[in-house]
Every structure is written in structure tokens, then in C-alpha cells.
Amino acid sequence: MKQQLIALAAGLVFGFGLCLSHMADPNKVLAFLDLVGNWDPSLALVMGGALLVTIPAFAVLRGWRHPWADQTMHWPTASRIDRRLVLGAALFGVGWGLAGYCPGPGLAALTFNPREALIFVAALIIGGRLAGWLAR
């Protein structure tokens, strides 16, 4: 139960931050990705600010023996760049560029743009299921 409450709190803070920074607004994201048109660099500042918090936090976490609600740290173990990783990254980028949403902001957008975001979230779930099925 403790893990679920921590996950819920983290998700709520993350979603609030996405909405506050307008990263859940597909028009703002698409303007950021439009380098040759009406480019809006503000999201680069948001991403830079996130890195300023995240990089030192990971350095601190590397010294922890275990997180608050588990017995071991679960660090990524994969280090190889393979076909699956490249294909997934490419699909993510194309989807982000076409829709203006990625998974986190798509879920956060359900709070203020539910009709459009619901279509994205439904496609996200179907695509995730399809990817899992194809991987098997």
C-alpha cells in the first residue's frame, strides 16, 4: 500500500508540473517542435529545469541502499542500443510530433482537454497492447 501511495503522490506532482508548465498542451509542444516555423523555445527551459533537479537527485539516490518503500534499488540494467530501442524511440518521436502528446502529458491532459486526450490515451493503450503482443 505504501508503494501505491508514493506512486500516486509522485504521479499527481508530475501531472501538476506538466500542466503548470504547459507541457500537456499539444499546441505548445508542437510549437516547440516546429523549428522552422513559429518556434517556441519555452519548453526547452522546462526540460532544462527538470534536468537541474533530476541529475543531482540521481547522484544522491546512487548512495542509498534502498528506496523508502522497497528492499532494493531497481536501476536499469540494459545498456545496449538495439533495433527495438531505436524503433521504439523513432515511433515515440513520430507520435509526439504528430499528436503533440507523449504518455505523461497525455494523461495529464485528461484534466483539461478530455475529449482529445482520451483519443490519445485510448490509442496509447491499444498500441501498448499491440506492442506487447508483437514482442511475444
pLDDT in tens, 55-94: 999 999 999 999 988 899 999 998 999 998 999 899 889 9
Query: Which phi and psi (to 5°) does residue 94 adopt?
Result: -65, -45
In angstroms, the CA 105 to CA 112 distance is 11
Helix, strand and coil in the chain, % to nearest 5: 70, 0, 30
Please give the pLDDT value at position 135: 83
User: Which residue type, as a one-letter code, is found at position 7?
Assistant: A
pLDDT tens digit sequence for 2-55: 889 999 999 999 999 999 988 899 999 899 999 999 899 998 999 999 999 999
Query: Residue 1: is its pLDDT beyond 90?
Result: no
DSSP 41: T
The whole-angstrom separation of Cα 24 and Cα 113 is 9
Cell 523508502 found at: 68
Distances (CA, A) of 128 to 103, 114, 134: 11, 20, 10
The pLDDT value recorded for residue 112 is: 86
